[in-house]
Amino acid sequence: MSIQARARSRCSWLPELDTLSGPIYKSVADALAASIADGTLEPGAPLPPQRLLADALGVTVGTVTRAYREAERRGLVEARVGSGTRVRQVGSQTPDFHHLSKADGDSIDLSLSIPIPSTTRAQQLSQTLTKLSSRPDLIAQSLSYQPEQGSPAQRMQLAQWLTAQELPMSGEELILTTGGQHADFLALQTLIRPGEAVASDALTYPGMIAAARQLGLKHLPVPMDREGMRPDALEKLCQRQRIRLIYLMPEHNNPTAIQMSEARRRAIVELARRYDLLILEDGVQYVSPALRGTPFYRLAPERSLYIFSVSKILAGGLRFGALRAPTALIPQLSAGLRAECWSTPGLMGAAVCEWLTSPDAQELIDWQWRELEARHRLLEQHLAGYDFLAHPCGFQAWLHLPDPWRASDFITQAASRGVTLVSPEPFCVGSQPAPQAVRICLTPPPHREQLGTGLQRLSELLAEGPRPSAPLV
Ligand SMILES: Cc1ncc(COP(=O)(O)O)c(C=O)c1O
């Protein structure tokens, strides 16, 4: 056996030689990135020793050293003295998807995706509770254990409300949950076995990353473009791996604000049917009916689940949401919810249904959409000329930082000017490097003026460019 053949047989990972083109070190780094993205190389996996890989590829050790350095520069791998080079372990950290403000006293918080603060919310809840307290029938019902799926009356009330919002569904298809995060977790916990794989946009909601990790699922990133998840990349992944479910936010990806095109939705459905994938569509980032596309559960009702929550339209503290599922999956999901907590609290369901279906709630929701439109105009005014993505009634924008800004420096320097932003790291699936981009939430400031001041400071910072860093010795 030749030296090369022996080395090849001992390598734990090998790039496909026929795909190498251009500078070899770059091709090896590209191949590493592809293997990490499709899950062939998992976080923490050791790379072959450099000499072994060099022999296997018939190149010099220097070329492999350069390739590993390039991969390290891209944030794909980390080299440790004594333990060689390994795929980066971003995945072992608990993602920081806190929903409590980190902004200190005077800082302008643009980091959280929360409903626009308004004293009307508390007033409306207070009126709802007063009304509820004069309904002994509803109070008495709340004292009883509820069916796992949730009270049939509440499910019907919610289904009617959603249908009026152009999300037609029936109460039988709904399971009431304690918010959108619970619905995400319930779907994964009940429908996917530990060790099985789920896929999502490469940049996704950190609560989903946390749920998949908590349940020991393989979570694979699928690259996106400005129309959403790329079907060619999803198909490639499906050809290599058995994937059970894809998680999508087609109306408003959190964090990138990308809305998936109709053509893209249909292409994804075709793949889901071909590869027998479930589709978990997260509608928590609630978008006005006039600006919505076709939900997946309407395109492929037999395999799609839809998540609704009142967190972005009424208030996150209510912890109330629902999961729409094909009726064939309802018994399985109900059993999962029963094992967790028997059912969601009937009293909270009664209060939320009463509030949500009132004309007051609709006024509040309409006010928030009008206010968001005005806030988006401010965004366009302050960030004109920069590369950002936004959805007209979305809570956030995604700003690609111009060269040579790095996201970490931008966030630190914004903080020193009294603006709080969140790091892009928690949104990254797997060990892919975070982009040099930041999410800018438009909703936390109670007043538009404050948002304007925050955006003005960011625009000044962008124009000035990063402070030169101290030379390393
Ligand atoms: C896309 C997405 N899904 C789920 C959630 C969690 O929703 P809830 O607060 O209803 O649990 C959020 C919260 O920000 C979100 O952005």
- Per-residue model confidence as pLDDT tens digits over 250-266: 999 999 999 999 999 99
- As given in the structure block, the two tokens for residue 227 are 């129309």
Q: Give the mutation target among 254, 259, 287 for probing the ligand 1 site: most ligand atoms within 8 A of CB.
A: 254
Nearest Cα residue to atom 15 of ligand 1:
284
Distance CA(104)–CA(438), nearest Å, equals 19
- As given in the structure block, the two tokens for residue 30 are 């590209």
Q: Give the mutation target among 204, 249, 256, 285 for probing the ligand 1 site: most ligand atoms within 8 A of CB.
A: 285
Looking from the CA of 321 toward its CB, the CA atoms found within 13 Å total 28
- Of the candidates 278, 279, 291, 266, the residue with the CA atom closest to the CA atom of residue 376: 291
Q: Look at 29-33, 348-352, 366-370 and tell me which has the smallest mean pLDDT.
A: 29-33
pLDDT tens for 284-309 read: 999 999 999 999 999 999 999 999 99
Distance CA(319)–CA(364), nearest Å, equals 18
Question: Which atom of ligand 1 sits closest to the CA of residue 114?
Answer: 14
240 C-alpha to ligand 1 centroid (Å): 31
Using the predicted structure, report yes or no on whether residue 121 has a pLDDT greater than 80.
yes
Same domain, 278 and 353: yes
The pLDDT value recorded for residue 92 is: 40
Burial class (CB in 10 A: 0-12, 13-18, 19+), 408: middle
Report the chain's mean pLDDT, rounded to a whole number.
Answer: 92
Task: Find the distance separating the first CA and the last CA of the chain, reported in whole Å.
Answer: 47
Question: Which atom of ligand 1 sits closest to the CA of residue 205?
Answer: 1
Position 395 confidence tier, pLDDT thresholds 50, 70, 90: very high
281 C-alpha to ligand 1 centroid (Å): 12
111 C-alpha to ligand 1 centroid (Å): 14
CATH number reported for the structural domain that contains residue 51 in this entry: 1.10.10.10
Position 91 confidence tier, pLDDT thresholds 50, 70, 90: very low
- What is the span of the domain harbouring residue 139? 120-358
The pLDDT value recorded for residue 114 is: 97
Who has greater pLDDT, 71 or 270? 270
Does residue 193 sit within a domain?
A: yes
Looking from the CA of 147 toward its CB, the CA atoms found within 13 Å total 16
CATH number reported for the structural domain that contains residue 389 in this entry: 3.90.1150.10
Distance CA(350)–CA(316), nearest Å, equals 16
Distance CA(32)–CA(9), nearest Å, equals 18
**Ligand 1, residues at Cβ distance < 6 Å:** 113, 179-181, 205, 207, 249, 254, 282, 284-285, 309, 311, 316, 321
CB burial string 455-470: b at 16+ within 10 A, e below: bebbbebbeeebeeee
88 C-alpha to ligand 1 centroid (Å): 27
Does residue 471 sit within a domain?
A: no
Please check whether residue 144 is in contact with residue 342, taking contact to mean a CB–CB distance below 8 angstroms.
Answer: no
CB 381: neighbour CB atoms within 10 A?
Answer: 12
443 C-alpha to ligand 1 centroid (Å): 15
Q: Give the mutation target among 181, 256, 312 for probing the ligand 1 site: most ligand atoms within 8 A of CB.
A: 181
Using the predicted structure, report yes or no on whether residue 434 has a pLDDT greater than 70.
yes
Using the predicted structure, report yes or no on whether residue 79 has a pLDDT greater than 80.
no
Q: Look at 36-40, 150-154, 221-225, 432-436 and tell me which has the smallest mean pLDDT.
A: 36-40
Question: Which atom of ligand 1 sits closest to the CA of residue 99?
Answer: 14
Who has greater pLDDT, 441 or 11? 441
Same domain, 306 and 168: yes
Using the predicted structure, report yes or no on whether residue 95 has a pLDDT greater than 60.
no
Does residue 392 sit within a domain?
A: yes
Distance CA(97)–CA(212), nearest Å, equals 14
Peptide bond connecting 404 to the previous residue in cis, omega within 30 degrees of 0: yes
Same domain, 293 and 324: yes
Instruction: State residue 143 phi and psi, 5-degree precision.
Output: -75, -20
- Domain end among 358, 390, 421: 358
172 C-alpha to ligand 1 centroid (Å): 23
Nearest Cα residue to atom 8 of ligand 1:
180
Same domain, 344 and 441: no
Question: Which atom of ligand 1 sits closest to the CA of residue 320?
Answer: 10
Q: Which of 84-98, 104-118, 322-336, 459-473 has the highest mean pLDDT?
A: 322-336
Please check whether residue 262 is in contact with residue 287, taking contact to mean a CB–CB distance below 8 angstroms.
Answer: no
275 C-alpha to ligand 1 centroid (Å): 28
The pLDDT value recorded for residue 414 is: 97
- In sign, the C-alpha dihedral spanning 337, 338, 340, 344 is positive
> Structurally, how many domains does the chain consist of?
3
Does residue 99 sit within a domain?
A: no
284 C-alpha to ligand 1 centroid (Å): 5
192 C-alpha to ligand 1 centroid (Å): 20
Same domain, 290 and 336: yes
225 C-alpha to ligand 1 centroid (Å): 23
Nearest Cα residue to atom 2 of ligand 1:
284
Using the predicted structure, report yes or no on whether residue 94 has a pLDDT greater than 70.
no
- Of the candidates 183, 148, 212, 153, the residue with the CA atom closest to the CA atom of residue 341: 148
Distance CA(246)–CA(222), nearest Å, equals 10
Q: What is the percentage of the chain residues whose pLDDT exceeds 70?
A: 93
360 C-alpha to ligand 1 centroid (Å): 23
Same domain, 193 and 298: yes
Mean pLDDT, residues 398-407 taken together: 96
Same domain, 62 and 147: no
Same domain, 283 and 401: no
The pLDDT value recorded for residue 244 is: 97
The pLDDT value recorded for residue 214 is: 95
- Quick one: DSSP state of residue 445? S
Distance CA(188)–CA(181), nearest Å, equals 11
Same domain, 132 and 276: yes
1 C-alpha to ligand 1 centroid (Å): 57
- Domain end among 358, 379, 408: 358
Same domain, 369 and 349: no
What angle do the packed helices 50-57 and 3-10 form, to 10 degrees?
A: 130
Who has greater pLDDT, 469 or 146? 146
Nearest Cα residue to atom 3 of ligand 1:
284
Does residue 296 sit within a domain?
A: yes
User: Strands (DSSP E) along 234-277, which ranges?
Assistant: 243-248
181 C-alpha to ligand 1 centroid (Å): 6
Using the predicted structure, report yes or no on whether residue 327 has a pLDDT greater than 90.
yes
Sort residue 75 into left (φ over 0), alpha (ψ -120 to 50) or beta: left
- Domain end among 358, 379, 401: 358
- As given in the structure block, the two tokens for residue 317 are 């503290």
Does residue 470 sit within a domain?
A: no
Who has greater pLDDT, 377 or 82? 377
Using the predicted structure, report yes or no on whether residue 65 has a pLDDT greater than 90.
no
The pLDDT value recorded for residue 77 is: 79
CATH number reported for the structural domain that contains residue 288 in this entry: 3.40.640.10
Does residue 353 sit within a domain?
A: yes
The pLDDT value recorded for residue 93 is: 43
Looking from the CA of 97 toward its CB, the CA atoms found within 13 Å total 17
Q: Give the mutation target among 101, 114, 247, 284 for probing the ligand 1 site: most ligand atoms within 8 A of CB.
A: 284
Using the predicted structure, report yes or no on whether residue 460 has a pLDDT greater than 50.
yes
Mean pLDDT, residues 102-123 taken together: 89
Same domain, 38 and 66: yes
Nearest Cα residue to atom 12 of ligand 1:
284
Nearest Cα residue to atom 14 of ligand 1:
113
Question: Which atom of ligand 1 sits closest to the CA of residue 184?
Answer: 4
Same domain, 237 and 279: yes
Question: Which atom of ligand 1 sits closest to the CA of residue 113?
Answer: 14
Does residue 125 sit within a domain?
A: yes
- Quick one: DSSP state of residue 431? T
